[in-house]
Amino acid sequence: MRKVDRKKIIRDAVMGTHELSALEVSILDIPFVQRLRGISQTALACLTYPSATHNRFGHSLGVSIMAYRMGRALGDEVDESTLLELKIAGLLHDIGHGPFSHASEEIIGELDDIKQALEKDARYSIEKPHEMIAYMILQTGSFKDFFEEVLKVYERTDVSLDNISEMIIGSMHDREKNQYKADIINGAFDADKLDYLTRDSYFTGIRMAIDIERILATQMIDPRKDKPRGIIVDIGGVHILEQIIFSKMLLYPSVYHHHKVRSALCMLKSVFEIIRDDNFLAGGLKFDKVSDFLRVNDCFLLTENGKPQEVAEQVRKINQRDLLKRALVISRKTLKKEEGFEDLLARRDRPQDLRDIAREMAQDKRLKNKCQFYDVWLDIPEDPRFPEPSQCWVKITDKSYERLDEFFPVTEWSSSFSVNKWKGFVFCPPEVQKTTDNIARNILGNLFNLELNDQATVLAKHASYAT
């Protein structure tokens, strides 16, 4: 390996100026991390928010900086070796992401070998297979050999790759002593969350403020003898944690579940579907195993050259922002009655069922020769999860502790979000919005006894030329 001679100064738009040691720069320079420059943080949100072009590389730097600050704020309980482990874990925590981040993660999560691996070990998050993939990369013999060489070059023997790996999946083997390390990287209110909320809001232009200094001042390591030594917060910081939950809740309807963002996501999934269904090769890859996703970045997928015509056509539409449009908007406010709605939502756990329903819509004779199966989508997003209040302890006095969910009603908030903000969609080409509207209503009615009111069409804003 090439030895880095000196430290470097990093200037980040969100986290400010930060210093990286020569060892950290060596980690930053490895292909796994540099590849993250080509992985967008918010997938295709830039088609809706033009400045949302930030990437996983910048985010990883931000997490590293924030993890260091969180560790420093804990004072003498955190030594220099642990601070370095936290910074390296921040740099490496996202190396398991495929192109377009969580967009491809939904596809990766459906691969048989990934499903089996996630189910075997309770430490892994089923919702976040990229964490498990990152952990597995760091645990390979080749990466361990590389890391050992780096430590020798910089004469460091006090840094553990096993600790770094466990921080990334949020579970230390010695929880009673060191769980706080994992909580900083992958916990209820971790460095990852503090960076992505701040970064995503900054680059989308959505005004949002999180008092990070107050969080750092009120966090601490749990002093109770009968609990793991995780991160807890003093009661004086509760209102800031509440602010974080509200910020996360705001970003879902504004960014992550915005209808144009969801439409672009469906079109991106169709690229992988065409490759799979027609047994195509894209750059020699079938995308039927994890390693294929880790070989490429966003640019590879959005390049038309060298791809089969059917794939290139879909890519062209994405590049030219020729997006699918809403035929129907499905929400609790567009229902005539609740009957059948929960049955539809339950299909989110079986994504292939949703695709089969969309296929039935696309194969209706009224759409014959007007569009193909890959142009029709029944998109039923997952409800945003807010597990943080049930995971975080609050210190009230030296002898009194409560869960954070005792302080504010997150269950009621989630329910209110589901009623007022959650939306699902039927997407199709703009030319056939009205026809697809009618077909979808009939099929959803037959399958789920679901009846939608006129608002389901009004909110879809059909094009004037739609048929």
In the chain, what are the domain boundaries? 8-256, 324-381+423-467
Q: Which of 262, 284, 282 is nearest to 274 (CA)?
A: 282
Report pLDDT for 120: 86
Q: How many residues does the chain have?
A: 467
C-beta of residue 439 within 8 angstroms of C-beta of residue 364: yes
Taking the CA atoms of residue 285, residue 291, residue 293 and residue 296 in that order, the dihedral angle to the nearest 10 degrees is -70
Cβ neighbourhood burial of 459 (10 Å; 0-12, 13-18, 19+): middle
Cβ atoms of 65 and 8 closer than 8 Å: no
**Region of residue 218 (phi > 0: left; psi between -120 and 50: alpha; otherwise: beta):** alpha
- Given a contact cutoff of 8 angstroms between Cβ atoms, the answer to whether 452 and 445 are in contact is no
Q: Is 384 exposed, middle or buried (0-12, 13-18, 19+ CB in 10 A)?
A: middle
Residues 367 and 203: their CA atoms lie apart, in Å, by 39
User: H or E element: which one contains 327?
Assistant: strand 325-330
SS3 for 7? Answer: coil
How many angstroms separate the CA atoms of 335 and 453, rounded?
6
Residues 246/252/253/257 CA torsion (nearest 10 deg):
-170
Q: Which residues are CB-contacts of 131 (< 8 A; sequence separation ≥ 6)?
A: 93, 96, 124, 125, 168, 169, 170, 186
* Residue 390: partners with Cβ closer than 8 Å, 6 or more residues away: 403, 404, 405, 410
Pair of tokens at residue 107:
């596809």
Alpha-carbon distance of 92 to 438, in angstroms, equals 48
CA–CA separation, 245 and 258 (whole Å): 19
CB contact at 8 A, 287 and 318 = no
DSSP sequence for 166-218: HHHHT--TTHHHHHHHHHHHHSTT-HHHHHHHHHHHHHHT------HHHHHHH
8-256 CATH choice from 3.40.640.10, 1.10.3210.10, 3.50.50.60, 3.40.50.2300: 1.10.3210.10
Q: Which residues of the chain have a pLDDT value below 50?
A: none
Burial 139-175 (b: 16+ CB within 10 A, else e): eeeebeebbeebbeeeeeeebebebbbbbbbbbbeee
pLDDT at 278 (0 to 100) = 87
Q: Which two tokens stand for residue 36?
A: 């993250």
Task: Please check whether residue 317 is in contact with residue 323, taking contact to mean a CB–CB distance below 8 angstroms.
Answer: yes
12, β-bridge pairs = 16
Structure tokens at 194: 């503090």
pLDDT at 268: 95
Can you tell me the distance from the alpha carbon of 108 to that of 265, in angstroms, rounded to the nearest whole number? 14
Query: In sequence order, what are the residues at sequence separation of 6 or more whose Cβ sits closer than 8 angstroms to the Cβ of residue 369?
Result: none
Gap between the Cα atoms of 427 and 291, Å rounded: 31
DSSP at 332: G
User: pTM for this structure?
Assistant: 0.94
134/30 Cα distance (integer angstroms): 14
112, containing H or E segment:
helix 112-120
